[in-house]
Structure 1
Amino acid sequence: MIVQQSTTATTQAPQLCAVTLLGNLVSTPDIRYRANPVCAITEITLATHSKWLDKNTNQYKEWTSYHHIKVEGELVEQALLQAQKGDIILVHGHLSKLKTNQTEHHDIVHANFIQRFAKGYTQSINQIHCSAKLTSQPKLMLTEHGKQLCQADIVIHQHNYSHEKQCWQNSLIERSIHVWGKLAQYLAEHGQANQELMVEGKLSYASNKSQYIDVNKLHLF
């Protein structure tokens, strides 16, 4: 998965990429300041929880997802200067990547909006809506539990403002999507590489911490 950035316009129109998260702050933010221009910056980790019914045991199970979020500029000082571990944080943003060194990148959410609430338990929100283009032929398979799963790769064309470079930039964000059940069958039968689509789902993470989209609604165009 790569991010390509350019300050020039492209023939591809910008596409929708909207992420909404509501969860608990895993640790107190480490706020830093970057020079030229002076800009506050931090990376936070947000925990969201989801429950589902295990039909084999007839008991509910809970899964926790940890989302890495980049926050910069006025958002840091408006919402995170007094933030503490355990605070409830509402985030709206878009998908991006954080470069940690010359070769390593991490899939992240780049915050456009943040609001902090007092510590406590809250019903989590983990939602993503995006329009994109298929970059691979969908592959249908059966899981070890006999469920239908369809996997494919997508690319999202974004147009976002860079506080670091103080300009608008075009970026290509690549992710994989996982689609289940009858919707998986539909995507496998009708989806084609280079086809436009819109998906609604949640952010999930593989064992290597790479980010993918777990889809619950999908439209092909």
Structure 2
Amino acid sequence: MHKIKSPTANQQLCAVTLLGNLVADPDIRYRANPVSAITEITLATSAKWLDKKTNTFKEWTSYHNVRVEGDLVEQTLLNAKKGEIILVHGYLSHIKSGGDTKNTALSIVHASFIQKFNKGYTQTINQILCSAQLSSVPKLITTQNNKNLAQVTIIINQQDYSVDKQCWLSHQVAIELQVWGKQAQYLVDNAKVNDSVMVEGKLSYLATADKKQFIEAKTVHLLS
């Protein structure tokens, strides 16, 4: 019988919940020692807002890469098809893109729970709740519409128990945090490197070639 060691005391919270449509049929692979199913799927979530200049609603679709392993794959995704609705709960992790060490690590959602629903219309969900530490000085930007935007890099230390390896694994993720309005100004005026924060928001990405992921904050609590 293996003794399960407890996670370290400095672990942080990282909880991601997504409800969206499956972009393509899952490509399921199997690895050995022990034999275990693994796949990476893409979910689409959407958000609507009112463009006050044109008085029309606009929509932005976000695409989220999700890694699913082990029994979760066989219980839920063996017969999953493009367009079906998928509910995912998990945490942010990093994977290597490609097979060599020159490639950069990409942010991905590592699923700890997954459920499938039939095709149909539903309001999507895109939520992240995390605790983290600031690893850079917040930078304040004034947009063309005279709105304040603060940008800062945060570090999330997440731990998850691996059934295969019978131990706790650490996942350190560095990701950009964007904060708007009065909260942006408050963060710039009061926060410093290594301060702790609690963040509630959603996952998004820049409209650039590398699709760099970031957290768009709804609420930020400065804890130290």
Normalised to the residue count of structure 1, the TM-score between the two structures is 0.92
> Relative contact order (C-alpha < 8 Å, sep 6+): which is higher?
1
Per the alignment, do residues 72 and 9 of structure 1 end up closer, same or farther by CA in structure 2, a change over 3 Å counting? closer
- SS of the residue corresponding to residue 65 of structure 1 reads strand
The aligned counterpart of 1:159 is 159
| 1:212 corresponds to 2:214 | yes
The one-character-per-residue Cα deviations of 1:181-205 (angstroms, maximum 9, x if unpaired) are 1111111111111101100000011
RMSD over equivalenced CA pairs, Å: 1.6
CA contact (8 A) 1:45 1:68 kept: yes
The structure 2 residue matched to 1:30, chosen from 27, 32, 36, is 27
| 1:68 corresponds to 2:70 | no
What count of residue pairs does the alignment treat as equivalent?
214
- SS of the residue corresponding to residue 94 of structure 2 reads strand
CA distance in 2 between partners of 1:212 and 1:30 (Å): 26
CA distance in 1 between partners of 2:75 and 2:16 (Å): 20
CA distance in 1 between partners of 2:6 and 2:151 (Å): 32
Structure 1 unaligned blocks of 5 or more = 1-6
TM-superposed CA distance for 1:82, in Å, is 1.0
The one-character-per-residue Cα deviations of 1:58-78 (angstroms, maximum 9, x if unpaired) are 111000000000000000001
Structure 2 unaligned blocks of 5 or more = none
CA contact (8 A) 1:89 1:114 kept: yes
The aligned counterpart of 2:55 is 58
CA contact (8 A) 1:8 1:170 kept: no
The aligned counterpart of 1:116 is 116
TM-superposed CA distance for 1:212, in Å, is 0.7
CA contact (8 A) 2:45 2:124 kept: yes
- What is the one-letter code of the residue matched to 1:167? C
Normalised to the residue count of structure 2, the TM-score between the two structures is 0.91
The aligned counterpart of 1:133 is 133
TM-superposed CA distance for 1:8, in Å, is 11
| 1:176 corresponds to 2:176 | yes
CA distance in 2 between partners of 1:33 and 1:169 (Å): 21
The aligned counterpart of 1:86 is 83
CA distance in 2 between partners of 1:71 and 1:166 (Å): 18
CA distance in 1 between partners of 2:34 and 2:125 (Å): 34
Q: Aligned residues: percent identity? A: 59
